[in-house]
């Protein structure tokens, strides 16, 4: 039996709640956006014919330096409605995903990238697991990472091992932002109040029925990825400090380990002095000890500083993003200008 929550969202198993919103964050994707949109139109037609599912796409331009927003605004509304949102500056992918979630007008919400690596033909499979299988979160994950450099694979393994250390609700390894949320899962995600958001972690934390779908990422349709080693490292730190206290635990354990090592070393020096009458040279050991302890203390201060920065950001309660321009085009070709909104609204 279907029920409605206080927000009016249908929460019964496998219900479409009026349709599907596809959220596509865009950053300098002007060269391939039209081709990507044509593939979405084909998928939308199939969903309408096979399932009677109404579809819309929401392009969120996250401060692109090219004509991405102009192209998104001009895209035809064939078989699906088109929303084009331009953020006032580059706020980051997490903010762009939240903007798309806030502006989604249908119950189900699907997140995917616009660079062509997330295959649109997989959307029908995700929708099937949602409507036919009754799953609330259908997430995709890379089937393998054999084509990636060894250091990157080790870094990914270390990241997921650290972020899942000691937590009850673990984040699936290799899971990406390409995922579908049912109406009740999307509504639960909207209720989370934090501003430092990590969608991969939050989508797992909300619970409900979840399912993994492995896929082979396609080659980029054009250009090169904007993610470099520094950007991936910064995203990893952001995810760790936003979703996990594992770095604090690691710092505490490191302090305990160093204290235990210092106690053992002190005991050895005392034993050699008392029993064998050996005198240990003090200068080298003191300098090495001070350097080790000083470095560890700076690392711990840095870890604590990251969390203090997150607390400060949450206390300021600034909006996650601002919308500069927003247009809505229906599948019937009728344009509907929409007022700009902020995350606070």
Tallying the residues shown for the chain, one arrives at 345
pTM of the model: 0.69
What residues does each domain of the chain span? 20-244+319-337, 246-316
Q: Hey, is 191 helix, strand or coil?
A: helix
| Number of alpha carbons in the 13 Å side-chain half-sphere of residue 331 | 12
CATH homologous superfamily of 20-244+319-337: Spore Coat Polysaccharide Biosynthesis Protein SpsA; Chain A (3.90.550.10)
Give the tens place of pLDDT for each residue, 282-331: 656 676 677 677 777 777 777 777 777 777 766 777 788 888 888 888 87
Pick the residue with more confidence: 175 or 84? 84
Determine the pLDDT at residue 110.
93
Give the tens place of pLDDT for each residue, 30-68: 888 888 888 888 888 888 888 888 889 999 988 888 888
Asked if the model's pLDDT at residue 339 lies above 70, the reply is no
Query: Is residue 71 within 8 Å of 34, Cβ to Cβ?
Result: yes
How far apart, in whole angstroms, are the C-alpha atoms of residue 331 and residue 56?
Answer: 9
Query: Is residue 343 within 8 Å of 103, Cβ to Cβ?
Result: no
Asked if the model's pLDDT at residue 128 lies above 50, the reply is yes
**Residue 61: which region, alpha, beta or left (left: phi > 0; alpha: psi -120 to 50)?**
beta
Beta bridge partners of 323: 87
Give the tens place of pLDDT for each residue, 264-281: 777 777 777 777 766 656
């Amino acid at each position: 039996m279907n029920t409605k929550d206080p927000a009016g969202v249908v929460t019964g198993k496998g219900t479409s709640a009026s349709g599907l919103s596809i959220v596509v964050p865009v950053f300098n994707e002007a060269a391939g956006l039209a081709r990507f949109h044509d593939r979405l139109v084909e998928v939308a037609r199939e969903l309408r014919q096979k399932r009677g599912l109404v579809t819309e796409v929401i392009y969120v331009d996250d401060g692109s330096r090219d004509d991405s927003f102009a192209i998104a605004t001009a895209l035809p509304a064939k078989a699906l409605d088109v929303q084009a949102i331009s953020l006032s500056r580059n706020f980051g992918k997490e903010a762009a995903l939240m903007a798309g979630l806030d502006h989604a007008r249908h119950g189900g919400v699907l997140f995917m990238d616009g660079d062509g690596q997330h295959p649109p033909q997989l959307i029908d499979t995700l929708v099937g697991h949602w409507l036919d299988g009754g799953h609330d979160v259908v997430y995709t994950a890379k089937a393998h990472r054999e084509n990636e450099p060894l250091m990157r694979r080790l870094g990914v393994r270390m990241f997921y091992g650290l972020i899942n250390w000691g937590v009850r609700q673990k984040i699936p390894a290799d899971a990406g932002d390409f995922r579908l949320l049912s109406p009740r899962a999307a509504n639960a995600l909207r209720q989370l109040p934090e501003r430092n958001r990590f969608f991969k972690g939050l989508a797992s934390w909300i619970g409900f029925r979840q399912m993994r779908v492995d896929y082979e990422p396609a080659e980029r349709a054009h250009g090169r990825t904007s993610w470099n080693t520094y950007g991936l490292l910064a995203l990893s730190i952001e995810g760790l400090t936003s979703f996990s206290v594992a770095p604090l635990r690691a710092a505490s354990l490191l302090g305990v380990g160093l204290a235990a090592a210092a106690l053992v070393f002190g005991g050895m020096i005392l034993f050699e002095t008392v029993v064998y009458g050996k005198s240990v040279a003090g200068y080298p050991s003191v300098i090495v000890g001070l350097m080790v302890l000083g470095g560890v203390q700076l690392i711990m201060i840095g870890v604590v500083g990251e969390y203090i920065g997150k607390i400060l950001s949450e206390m300021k309660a600034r909006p996650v993003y601002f919308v500069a321009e927003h247009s809505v085009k229906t599948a019937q070709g009728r344009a509907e200008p929409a007022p700009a909104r902020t995350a606070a609204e």
